Structure 1
Amino acid sequence: MNENHYRVAGMTCGHCVASVAEEVAEVPSVHDVTVDLPEGTVLVRGRDLDDALIRTAIAEAGYTVTEPVAV
């Protein structure tokens, strides 16, 4: 299983977390999404993850990936 980490700007509340998690969960091959509101990060787990599709899903939720997160 692969993991992709993202720093996301603009998330301020539980609704933001739910919106991002819901959109990203719909991306093919995504098995799990963890959104950390205080840190402003999103952790995506799955097989053969498509970075572009995940970034698009975050944008569709109304937020911006500001930079990748080093792990």
Structure 2
Amino acid sequence: MCSCSQHAAPTETDTSATPDQAVILLVDDMTCGHCAGTIKGAIEQALPGSSVTADPASKRVTITGASDSAAIQAIVTKAGYTPLLAGASA
């Protein structure tokens, strides 16, 4: 979980549309923009070519360009968060 002490208003990353072939996670302990950035960075670093949007307000993380949900969940867990698979679009 985030160790920063700046939990002001959450910042939102682009969540305008869920593209095809996206993996969607719900991360209840993503509480701020710092948390979202940590999760986004961890996934994009571990899975080059993936694109991640994270929204602390909705607790939703959407990943495109990578489809191995188990690997993505493991990356988020290693970053210190608790991901739940919300689904994948067809």
TM-score range, shorter chain: 0.7 to 0.9
Is 1:14 aligned to residue 33 of structure 2? yes
Q: TM-score, normalised by structure 1?
A: 0.81
| Percent of residue pairs bearing the same amino acid type | 29
Higher relative contact order (CA 8 A, sep 6+): 1
Partner of 2:16: none
Paired residue total: 70
Tell me how far 1:60 sits from its aligned partner.
1.4
Query: Greater strand percent: which structure?
Result: 1
1:61 aligns with: 79
Question: Gaps (5+ residues) in structure 2?
Answer: 1-19
Q: Hey, what's the Cα distance between the residues in 2 that align with 1:27 and 1:2? A: 19
Structure 1 unmatched ranges of 5 or more: none
Q: CA deviation at 1:2?
A: 2.1
Question: Displacement of 1:36 after TM fit?
Answer: 0.9
CA contact (8 A) 1:33 1:42 kept: yes
Structure with greater Cα Rg = 2
Is the partner of 1:26 in helix, strand or coil? Answer: helix
Amino acid at match of 1:25: E
